[in-house]
Structure 1
Amino acid sequence: MSYRVSDTYDGIDQAMRLLRRSMKGMPQRYRYMKQYDDLRRAVAVLVILLEEAAPWLEETDKAKQATTRARKMFDAVR
């Protein structure tokens, strides 16, 4: 599951870089700086929460694999 989290990090990073480059090219970007700053803060919070959730996502995936393996073994014994 962690590869999905790292893919998400990469996607967010690429999107934010593209947004920053786009903002630099805008002739009247000062009008949008407040929204841009709010978005950057919100994305930073999202990335931190995603980082905190990554171990649980991995653990859940491992638990699911173990449950599937145990179920197969149990069905084989029947």
Structure 2
Amino acid sequence: MGAGGISIWQLLIILVIVVLLFGTKRLKGIGSDLGSAVKGFRSAMSQQDSEEESAPRAESSVQGDSAKPKTEDKPHV
């Protein structure tokens, strides 16, 4: 048995029908688009991880005076 109770023969029949409906060129284009989307997602995630790793280092070098809240008198309407 294959995935979810579907046999290998049923999967092959579905694959043949999909290839006949869409054609190999269209499926190849969809596959390359999907691959580039996954690659872009992975690079964005690794870039975000590297930014998160460098962020705590930058915060530790900040002086205590800059973290004080600034109070200003604003006219109340």
TM-score tier by shorter-chain length is: 0.3 to 0.5
Larger Rg: 2
Answer 1 or 2: higher relative contact order, Cα 8 Å, separation at least 6. Answer: 1
TM-score by length of 2: 0.40
TM-score by length of 1: 0.39
